[in-house]
A and B are shown apart, each in its own frame.
Chain A
Amino acid sequence: MDPCVIEFIGEKSIIGVIPNFSFDPLHLISGSVGPFRAGMPVHVPLWLGIHLRKQQKCRIVPPEWMDMDLLEEIKEEEKRSKFFTKMPSEHYMVEAQLIMSTAPDDVPRCEEIRTIIKDIFDIRESKLRTSIDAFIRGEGTYAKLDNLTLLEMHSVRPILPHSLDHIARYQRTAVATQRDTSMLGLNSSTMNSSSFLTQ
């Protein structure tokens, strides 16, 4: 999955904006939005919020979790915990990136928040790497990945699933070879037939 696809999916998140214009509700296929009343907060999909903001038709209401105190807590918890903590938003990185690059002025303490979100992401990434290492050494084929966000999963794709596929393939080959060698007189046609033209 391309990073721009992850962003595209993340753009469906709902955020609050305060429009500076008034308009009747819009009945989008993905659901209705509005009515828009100048000065009154309204919920819209992120893709729409970003568009309105770039047109200077609204201010963005930062999501509740874009708050230094809360993020400090999350960071501490993430450091303390062996497991991945639940993030306040499934698409926290995409939201943070889009909102803060489009409307830094709408987010109080924007720079600090940007940094701490990056810190949290880094802590989680390094935790992810350590646990993958342990997982692969343990020769597992299955793992639980609760609270990992889409982008984080993507950061280990394709390397993690591919490595596991290869390990599984070697294991199957090992089993098959054992079986074959115990059976003398193998015929040549079966040897060549398995993986023709595979990439």
Chain B
Amino acid sequence: MSEEDYTTKITREDACLNRTADDDEDDDEGEEITAQKVLEFLETAWTNEMCAPDILQHQSDMLELMMGQLAHMEENMKDLDKNDFRFVVHQMELERIRYVMASYLRCRLQKIETYTKHLLNEESTRSAEEKRLSPEETKFAQEYYENMEECFQQIALQYMPNTQRSEADQRIVRPNLMSHVFVKANVSVPAVVVGVDDEEVDLAAGSQHIIPYQLIADLIQKHQVQLI
């Protein structure tokens, strides 16, 4: 396998990718992002998702890029002997990356199944760019909700008095957005409100904190902090 095979740069064609706080990297369309950067991005999205009580914005573009990269890598590895040093090492790395992606998506799926109706309601108020769920996840969520409701209806609700049948809103489960999370500041963030009494603290770059999720939720989106 030649060196060029591995070092394929991925061209980011889609201009609607999440903008990061450091805008100097995001100039125009057609900018390049290395596979290494995509991986780092996904790894951060993964840990953030595992630690956040709410579902975070989906990263379909990054996932798609990485899946393409893995497929490309596997294609290149086809001709290698299975006991070749290179094959073994690349295979180990592929398994690690596959695990991160699968674990990330499973984590989201779990939130979708737990907070189905709540998330669907929220999504319906969001504009196309703000959607947290990918179109595929939304479809799954809708189907899941309908299947669950149908099962409830058939076994129980249809036999209850009229007034009890339709109160589906009672059953909405919401995440506790005030639950405490561990967070690390990627850059210095001035004047973050850290308590109900509006107390403010400057987060130094690299500093770590425990704090209710809701107070820093927007900073995760802006990549100014990450959850740990």
Direct A–B contact in complex, judged by CB atoms less than 8 Å apart: yes
Residues of A within 8 A of B (CB): 1, 5, 8-9, 21, 23, 25-31, 47-48, 51, 140-148, 150, 153, 157, 160-161, 164-165, 168-169, 192-193, 196-199
Which B residues are CB-close (under 8 A) to A169? 176
**Complex contacts, B196 vs chain A, CB 8 Å:** 141
Q: Which B residues from 26 to 55 make CB contacts under 8 A with A?
A: 35-36, 39, 47, 50-51
Chain B contact residue count (CB 8 A cutoff): 47
Are B182 and A145 neighbours in the complex by a CB distance under 8 Å?
A: yes
CA distance A150 to B227 in the complex (A): 11
**B180 contacts partner chain A, Cβ-Cβ < 8 Å:** yes
Contact with A along B165-186 (1 / 0, CB 8 A): 0000111110010111110000
**Which of A21, A30, A193 contacts B93, CB < 8 Å?**
A30
**Residues of B contacting A142 in the complex (Cβ-Cβ under 8 angstroms):** 194-195, 199, 201, 209-212, 215
Q: Which of A23, A30, A147, A160 has a CB less than 8 Å from the CB of B39?
A: A30
Looking across the interface, which residue of chain A has its beta carbon closest to that of B174? Answer: A198
Which residues of B come within 8 Å of A, CB atoms? 3, 6-7, 35-36, 39, 47, 50-51, 69-70, 73, 85-86, 88-90, 92-93, 96-97, 99, 103, 169-173, 176, 178-182, 194-196, 199, 201, 207-212, 215, 228
Q: Which residue of A lies closest to B93 (CB)?
A: A28
Q: Which of A142, A146, A147: most chain B Cβ within 10 A?
A: A142
The answer to whether A161 touches B93 (Cβ under 8 A) is no
CB of B170, distance to nearest CB on chain A (Å): 4
Q: Which of B39, B182, B207 contacts A153 (CB 8 A)?
A: B182
Tell which of B97, B170, B180, B182 has the most Cβ of chain A within 10 Å. Answer: B180
In the docked arrangement, what's the CA distance between A143 and B207, Å? 11
Picked from A26, A140, A147, A150, the residue with its CB within 8 Å of the CB of B89 is A26
Given contacts A26-B86, A29-B73, A141-B196, contact A51 B92 (CB under 8 A): yes
| Chain B hits for A25, CB < 8 A | 3
Looking across the interface, which residue of chain A has its beta carbon closest to that of B47?
A9
Whether A141 and B47, one on each chain, are in contact in the complex, defined by CB atoms closer than 8 angstroms, is: no
**In-complex Cβ contact of A197 among B70, B171, B199 (8 A):** B171
Nearest CB of chain B from residue A43's CB, rounded to whole Å = 14
CA A140 to CA B196, docked complex, whole Å: 10
Contacts A145-B210, A148-B208, A161-B210 given; indicate if A27 touches B6 (C-beta within 8 A): yes
